[in-house]
A and B are shown apart, each in its own frame.
Chain A
């Protein structure tokens, strides 16, 4: 199993302990995970993520057997197409974009172009719903959550688009999923790291209604406990004990 939603690097709004690739590798071993797709956390907050991507590529080099880079690409920044080619050539399975942090609104043309270009390059586009619970955010953290409408717009941008949406809750996921055609639904997979388990059993309800193969395994390490998604799977009702998740390596068939 692969953790698609791991990050390295510090977070600007609070201290997080040792967000380093060597620690991540040990955590994966402890949790029985075979590898991780890894982003660079500070890049979400840089105006120009290029330097962060360089740090990411360099930082993961020694761990390339398990850790694959997921660089950040900002579609309103000059030469983003060049950054996408670098990502592709570096073996990235996906790229990250943060429209809420960059104030790129729903239906932003640049985001649609990026989604389509990623699809053409057989790279998934990874979107983050939130980094922290809204109730604890730093006063300077005013970006707000990703909007469900933004995900729907990108899922409709082209038939080769593949989206991985992380850290969404049940209502967000349902709003997007049931607002798309079956063909568009197949372009979106969800990391369930922020979906509630029992007693409300949101994850079970989503698995039953949408199919467990719309979901991938993600932890949002180092911001959140790696143990959480595994615990959620372990507490599923018996009828879902053998539910199969999507294989993130096969999003493009």
Chain B
């Protein structure tokens, strides 16, 4: 693959995860190291990441207990401190515990190098009123919210109270001052339904992560949302992230400028990241 050099444009993974010692996996350090190894090879400048409680070890991944959410957030804060600009964090909260969620957001944002956004899983449907106080705080703190999404839920699925693009659109309509990131268009489900559901909700952007690499998915995403509303990301499969990046860059699907928006400019703007080349763009208002 083409070596990464100083002239390679920035690349921000808007949807990454790390593990920690209390996730019940003896290989947790290897998994984290593999993300950095692959990230370096791909030229990832910054991993915008969250830790989902204990990833199912002592409470369910998508319904983390307050204690586990705090454990994960503490591990993310430590990673941010040790890795500097290479890692930025999203604070993970469970909206069923309103007081804890709000305190946790305040705690993680107040730390130097702390949270640049909020991560919501599938602990409560996206349009549930319990999400409103979290969104109000996010608006006050100017934090985007990355919301785990199932692309078109046609039924309930086990282990999650899953939301889809239509659910998120109802929440986004109630909170026009918040930028919502619809997670992983390649993360399973019918992304075509998603694009139709959020096309007109300008305060929703989408990340391209997920294991799905369907041909046509990126074409439809660019067509429906435009390059200014797409954030590049990997989630749990970095090879699919690289494949999508190459598809964007090498197939004529997007212009060079559009590719730079998707590679990093949009993420820098949404998360308020200050990368050298992002300076001029980061002052622009988030997509609203």
Contact = CB atoms under 8 A, between A and B. Distances in A.
Contact of B188 (A15, A133, A196, A223): A133
Contacts of A224: 213-215
A132 B37 CA distance: 29
A189 B148 CA distance: 36
B243 interface: yes
Interface in A1-40: 14-17, 30
A102 interface: no
Interface residues of A, number: 30
B214 A197 contact: no
B238 interface: yes
B215 A133 contact: no
A119 B246 CA distance: 38
A231 B246 contact: yes
B224 interface: no
B35 A135 contact: no
A237 interface: yes
Nearest to B31: A199
Interface residues of B, number: 38
A135 B31 CA distance: 25
B227 interface: no
A199 B35 CA distance: 5
A198 B238 contact: yes
B52 to A, nearest CB: 14
Of A17, A224, A231, most buried by chain B (CB within 10 Å of CB) is A231
Interface string A202-241: 0100000000000000000111110110111011010000
B38 A199 contact: yes
A232 B243 CA distance: 8
A113 to B, nearest CB: 35
Contacts of B216: 14-17
* Secondary structure of the B contact surface, majority rule: helix
A183 interface: no
B250 interface: yes
B215 A197 contact: no
A201 interface: yes
A234 B242 contact: yes
A103 interface: no
A181 interface: no
B254 interface: no
Contacts, number: 97
Contacts of A79: none
A65 B101 CA distance: 62
B247 interface: yes
A195 to B, nearest CB: 9
Contacts of A132: 214
Contacts of A197: 38, 237-240
B34 interface: yes
Contacts of A196: 211, 236-237, 239
Interface in B16-55: 30-32, 34-35, 37-38, 41-42
Nearest to B187: A135
Nearest to B244: A225
Contacts of A237: 34, 37
A228 B238 CA distance: 10
Contacts of A135: 150-151, 188-189
A89 interface: no
A237 B246 CA distance: 20
B238 A133 contact: no
A198 B16 CA distance: 12
Nearest to A197: B239
Nearest to A203: B239
B236 A223 contact: no
A221 B247 CA distance: 13
Contact of B238 (A199, A221, A223, A230): A199
Contacts of B238: 197-199, 235
A249 interface: no
Given A30-B251, A224-B215, A225-B244, 5 more contacts: A197-B238, A197-B240, A198-B37, A225-B214, A232-B239
14 contacts: A136-B151, A136-B190, A196-B236, A198-B239, A199-B32, A199-B38, A199-B236, A200-B31, A200-B34, A223-B214, A227-B246, A228-B213, A234-B41, A235-B238
The 5 closest A-B pairs by CB, nearest first: A197-B239, A135-B188, A198-B38, A231-B242, A227-B243
